């Protein structure tokens, strides 16, 4: 068993998670089984109750664990499915230690950080390492943070217990460029490594984040002052797409260095899937503009998995996607829907609270009435149902009880078992659940399956008392949970693409295997788009708050999509199929079978990579 510990220095948001994920992808390509876990030093038990302004998105795992967004990178880059064992916080550690002390598990001993807290951390490493060749553990935060010290001490102890050929410490650090001096500065990295060495950890590899290439003299200096071989000083500059990172690190020899340090005989394969993917990303035949209508659009990480899934769908359709971020509140203004003109598709992601809700409803109506492909995720389904109820069924005042408890037509209502829930943390409908698809529906055709499993994170559902009326009005319920008869997917028949889901399909999309619904959405956007200027890049661009869209720089006109409509998942050599059904059932589903749903047990818990650190706008608390 081999272990890699990834630490970070100088500043946060350097991309430790992406580095760990890319290294895992390279090791998997060499035939090793890899699992990645994240240790977060904050005192929250999990990020489930944290604002996107503080933490970015919450990534939900199969078993319902609410985790750090870096676990999304781990699952996108590697093949393994993760569980609550793969995300540990200080909150979980101290909660477990105190519970043990209350039960008398320490036999009257004085409970201390060393050994009791550090032993809990080491135990989690051991549990996560079962049935794999290599376990990669990322330590959140920055070396020197006081809350991170118990984790670093635990790693020092663990490395001593395992032996020198079984553990690698990889330190991600910043080598800044000072324009006034016209040179790269190594002192911050030297100081960061010195802090690690004070704790008793000597890094084996330095991954140096920089905006400029490292010349030999800089590498030599880092090698000498940080006590690592020159070949272990790895340059890591920004890349156009995060999916080019594995190739960039491979070109620096990182994966070869790791297998050499472990003494493994694992040669590179003849086929490099990441090189193939990079070529497809950089040479698309088509372009498409997708608008994402949300209320956290100024934060890149708030909808991280959504943005990445749309990118995957673009790759699957041999298309460059220009993501246009539209503030839902801007659509609530008079004439606000002008911001939606020129978009080839509209996506409404998940969210909570009533801020921006009417703007999202306006976006759904615009898409429905103008034949623009619409894709709703979680709240996006509820928005579509509310809009349809108001404007097609003429149910005046139709709404969700989340936004208007006194609505005369509660077409969206809180689930019965949620009405008795008081605590906020880990109490929603979380994790993977079954969804039976209606034969012949657009969803069934996209998935090429009769039953699928998807991940959920919500408290509200479509009110079954209105389902018959919705269906008679023309809104097809094309997916239901068979155990509870809950609405999971709705769609319109006579529309280029109008599909909304109650779950979060973005958590099961990968760059090498786009999610089928995302792929179908982008395919529809390509084939229904109006002639327009092509998008210049796939970087999300915020829609102007003025009543006009910024015009992208004119690019070469792409070839028109073929008239013959082939399955979108097969385009560009990437076959996007439905996630394999799991007949065993998840922890979350087993809890749902009883319909009791007590409080869920607490989990045990580079384009330019980084966490959301932007301060919230005044008055925005949700």
DSSP 499-540: EEESS-GGGG-BTTB--HHHHHHHHHHHHHPPS-PPPS-SS-
What pLDDT is recorded for position 417?
62
pLDDT tens per residue, range 400-444: 999 999 999 999 998 776 666 666 565 678 889 999 999 999 999
The single-letter DSSP state of residue 430 is E
If you average pLDDT over residues 315-324, what whole number do you get?
Answer: 96
- Assigned CATH for 2-277: 3.40.50.300
Number of C-beta neighbours around residue 411 at 10 A: 24
Tell me if 6 sits within 8 A of 138, measured CB to CB: yes
Same fold? 2-277, 284-593 = yes
The two tokens of residue 161 are 């217990």
The two tokens of residue 190 are 């030297």
The single-letter DSSP state of residue 117 is I
Reply yes or no on whether the pLDDT at 563 is more than 60: no
334 pLDDT band, cuts 50/70/90, is confident
What pLDDT is recorded for position 444?
96
C-alpha to C-alpha distances, 451 to 287, 461, 477, nearest whole angstrom:
32, 20, 14
What pLDDT is recorded for position 592?
44
Host H or E run for residue 245: helix 245-251
What pLDDT is recorded for position 418?
63
CATH fold, domain 284-593, is: Rossmann fold (3.40.50)
Reply yes or no on whether the pLDDT at 595 is more than 50: no
Query: How does the average pLDDT of the chain come out, rounded?
Result: 85
Tell me if 205 sits within 8 A of 232, measured CB to CB: yes
Short-list 104, 129, 124, CA closest to 35: 129
If you average pLDDT over residues 246-272, what whole number do you get?
Answer: 94
Preceding omega of 115 cis (within 30 degrees of 0): yes
DSSP 290-328: EEEEES-TT-TTTTHHHHHHHHHHHHHTTEEEEEEEEEH
> How far apart are the C-alpha atoms of 244 and 15, rounded to whole Å?
14
The single-letter DSSP state of residue 598 is -
| Ordered alpha helix ranges (H), 34-164 | 52-55, 70-77, 90-103, 118-128, 149-162
* Cα dihedral 48/11/506/462 (nearest 10): 30
582 pLDDT band, cuts 50/70/90, is very low
The single-letter DSSP state of residue 113 is I
What pLDDT is recorded for position 531?
60
Per DSSP, the three-state class of 257 is helix
Per DSSP, the three-state class of 435 is strand
Which neighbouring-strand residues pair with 319?
286
pLDDT tens per residue, range 171-220: 999 999 999 988 999 999 999 999 999 999 999 999 999 999 999 999 99
> How far apart are the C-alpha atoms of 315 and 514, rounded to whole Å?
8
List, in order, residues 6 or more apart from 84 with CB less than 8 Å away.
61, 63, 64, 65, 67, 603, 604, 605
Helices (H) and strands (E) in the chain, counts: 19, 24
Domain ranges of the chain: 2-277, 284-593
**Residues designated catalytic:** 378, 504, 506
Reply yes or no on whether the pLDDT at 105 is more than 50: yes
81 pLDDT band, cuts 50/70/90, is confident
The two tokens of residue 509 are 């999309």
> How far apart are the C-alpha atoms of 483 and 493, rounded to whole Å?
26
pTM of the model: 0.83
């Amino acid at each position: 068993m081999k272990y890699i510990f990834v630490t970070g220095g100088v500043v946060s948001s350097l991309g430790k998670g992406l580095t760990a994920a890319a290294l895992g992808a390279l090791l998997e390509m060499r035939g090793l089984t890899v699992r990645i876990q994240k240790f977060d030093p904050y005192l929250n038990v999990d990020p489930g109750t944290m604002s996107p302004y503080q933490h970015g998105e919450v990534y939900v795992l199969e078993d319902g664990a609410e985790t750090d967004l870096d676990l999304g990178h781990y699952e996108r880059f590697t093949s393994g499915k993760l569980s609550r064992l793969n995300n540990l916080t200080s909150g979980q550690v101290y909660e477990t230690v105190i519970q043990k002390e209350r039960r008398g598990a320490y036999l009257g001993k004085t409970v201390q950080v060393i050994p009791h807290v550090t032993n809990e951390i080491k135990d989690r490493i051991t549990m996560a390492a079962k049935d794999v060749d290599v376990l990669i553990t990322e330590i959140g935060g920055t070396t020197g943070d006081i809350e991170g010290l118990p984790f670093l001490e635990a790693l020092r102890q663990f490395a001593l217990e395992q032996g020198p050929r079984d553990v690698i410490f990889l330190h991600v650090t910043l080598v800044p460029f000072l324009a006034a001096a016209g040179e790269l500065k190594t002192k911050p990295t030297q100081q960061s490594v010195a802090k690690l060495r004070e704790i008793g950890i000597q890094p084996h590899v330095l991954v140096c984040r920089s905006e400029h290439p490292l010349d030999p003299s800089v590498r030599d200096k880092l090698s000498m002052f940080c006590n690592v071989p020159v070949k272990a000083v790895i340059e890591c500059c920004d890349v156009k797409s995060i999916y080019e990172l594995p190739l960039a690190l491979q070109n620096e020899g990182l994966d070869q260095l790791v297998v050499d340090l472990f003494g493994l005989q694992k040669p590179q394969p003849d086929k490099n899937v990441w090189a193939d993917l990079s070529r497809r990303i950089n040479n698309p035949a088509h372009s498409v503009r997708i608008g994402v209508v949300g209320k956290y659009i100024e934060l890149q990480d708030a909808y991280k998995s959504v943005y990445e899934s749309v990118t995957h769908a673009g790759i699957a359709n041999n298309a460059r996607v220009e993501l246009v971020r539209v503030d839902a509140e801007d659509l609530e203004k008079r004439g606000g829907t002008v911001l939606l003109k020129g978009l080839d598709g509209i996506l409404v992601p998940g969210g909570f609270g009533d801020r921006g809700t009417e703007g999202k409803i306006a976006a759904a109506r615009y898409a429905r009435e103008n034949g623009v492909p619409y894709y709703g995720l979680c709240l996006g389904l509820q928005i579509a149902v509310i809009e349809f109820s108001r404007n097609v069924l003429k149910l005046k005042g139709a709404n969700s009880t989340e936004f208007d408890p006194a609505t005369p037509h509660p077409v969206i209502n809180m689930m019965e078992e949620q009405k008795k829930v008081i605590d906020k943390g880990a109490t929603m409908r979380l994790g993977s659940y079954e969804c039976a698809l209606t034969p012949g529906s657009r969803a069934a055709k996209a998935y090429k399956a009769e039953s699928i499993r998807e991940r959920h994170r919500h408290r509200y559902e479509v009110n079954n008392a209105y389902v018959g009326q919705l269906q008679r009005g023309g809104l097809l319920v094309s997916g239901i949970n068979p155990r509870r008869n809950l609405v999971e997917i709705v769609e319109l028949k006579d529309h280029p693409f109008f599909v909304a889901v109650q779950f979060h399909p973005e958590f099961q999309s990968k760059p090498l295997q786009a999610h089928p619904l995302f792929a179908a959405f982008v395919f529809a956007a390509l084939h229904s788009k109006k002639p327009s200027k092509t998008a210049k890049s796939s970087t999300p661009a915020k829609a102007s708050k003025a009543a006009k869209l910024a015009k992208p720089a004119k690019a070469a006109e792409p070839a028109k999509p073929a008239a013959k409509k082939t399955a979108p998942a097969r385009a560009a050599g990437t076959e996007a199929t439905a996630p394999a059904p799991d007949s065993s059932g998840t922890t979350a589903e087993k809890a749902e079978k009883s319909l009791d749903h007590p409080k869920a047990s607490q989990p045990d818990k580079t384009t330019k990579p980084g966490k959301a650190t932007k301060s919230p706008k005044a008055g925005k608390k949700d």
